[in-house]
Amino acid sequence: MTVEDMPESWEVVLSRTPFRGAKTAVRSDDVVMPGGSTARRDYQVHPGSVAVLALDDEGRVLVLRQYRHPVRHKLWEIPAGLLDVPGENPLLAAQRELYEEAHAKAEDWRVLVDLYPSPGGSDEAVRVFLARGLASVEGERYAVTDEEADMTLESVPVAELVRGVLAGELHNTCLVTGVLALQAAQAQAGGLDALRPADADWPARPY
């Protein structure tokens, strides 16, 4: 038995887009179910995202603390952003986010994990990269606005992040998935060097 997600598409007899926002939309599809009946499925249409787990030589991860209005929390997160430039290479988008949010760059990039964070309500796909060989970027910091103007940046040991995840103190999807995937990857044969290359195929968001 092979445990692997497989693409499949059930028939849609009617599709509507009742809402379009600046970056995302809401789609309402009438989908044919097994047996022939139809059911309405409403979901967010999303361009996709990238995130960066930036690991320094001392085993610390760059994390940001940012206000997220829908959940009324300041969350610890890893640098991340939308794939809102049509056709943009996900690796280049991740490098841009690391620069803009952490004023940093990295020499070594790998794919850490791919995920659908909420497949029952959104078509968003996220690729989380591992970045190593970190260095500060020269010159002025990227100008930030809105929630990002209140962000704080810290370097936190992996073990402390894992503890916080398991204790229910950290909740951001990319941070939780990223640090647990990192720990799993470190334990596998070949360690972090066995991870997929940064340009590995990504069928969910081909470019």
pLDDT tens across 45-95, in order? 999 999 999 999 999 999 999 999 999 999 999 999 999 888 889 999 999
Measured CA to CA, the distance from residue 62 to residue 53 in angstroms comes to 7
pLDDT tens across 107-148, in order? 999 999 999 999 999 999 999 999 999 999 887 776 666 666
Indicate which residues carry an active-site annotation. 148
What is the architecture, at CATH level 2, of domain 49-194?
Alpha-Beta Complex (3.90)
The upper half-sphere exposure of residue 25, i.e. CA atoms within 13 Å in the direction of its Cβ, equals 11
Domain boundary assignment for the chain: 12-45, 49-194
Tell if the pTM clears 0.85, that is, is over it: yes
The Cβ of residue 187 has, within 10 Å, a number of other Cβ atoms equal to 8
